[in-house]
Structure 1
Amino acid sequence: MSDSEAQPKVRQGMEDEGPLSFINSLPVPLHKRVWALRALKAKEMHFEVDFYRQLHELERNLVLCCADLRERRRQIVMGDSEPTEDISTELEAKLWLDGPGGSAVASNSNMPAGIPNFWLTIFSNVPQLSDMIQEHDKPILRYLKDVCVIYSSPGEPMSYQLDFCFSPNEYFSNSTLTKTYHLKNEFDSSNLLSFDGPEIISCTGCSIAWYKGRNVTVRLLQKTQKHRSRGIIRTVTKKFPMTRFSTFSILQKCLWWRNPRMLKML
Structure 2
Amino acid sequence: MIFIGCKEDRNLIFEPSNFKNETCKNCASITILVPRALGNKKIDEVINTALREEIISILKYDDEVDANSIDSAMESFQSEYIQLRDKFPEEATTWEATINGEVTYENDTILTIRLDYYLFTGGAHGYSSVRFLNFNKEKGKELGNEELFSDIEAFEGLAESKFRIKEKIPNSESINSTGFMFENDVFYLPENIGFTKEGLQLFYEQYEVASYADGPIVLTIPLVEIQKYLIPFRS
Q: Same fold (TM over 0.5)?
A: no
* Higher helix proportion (structure 1 or 2): 1
Which of these two proteins has the greater Rg computed from alpha carbons?
Answer: 1
* Higher strand proportion (structure 1 or 2): 2
User: Scaled by the length of structure 2, what TM-score is found?
Assistant: 0.29
User: Scaled by the length of structure 1, what TM-score is found?
Assistant: 0.26
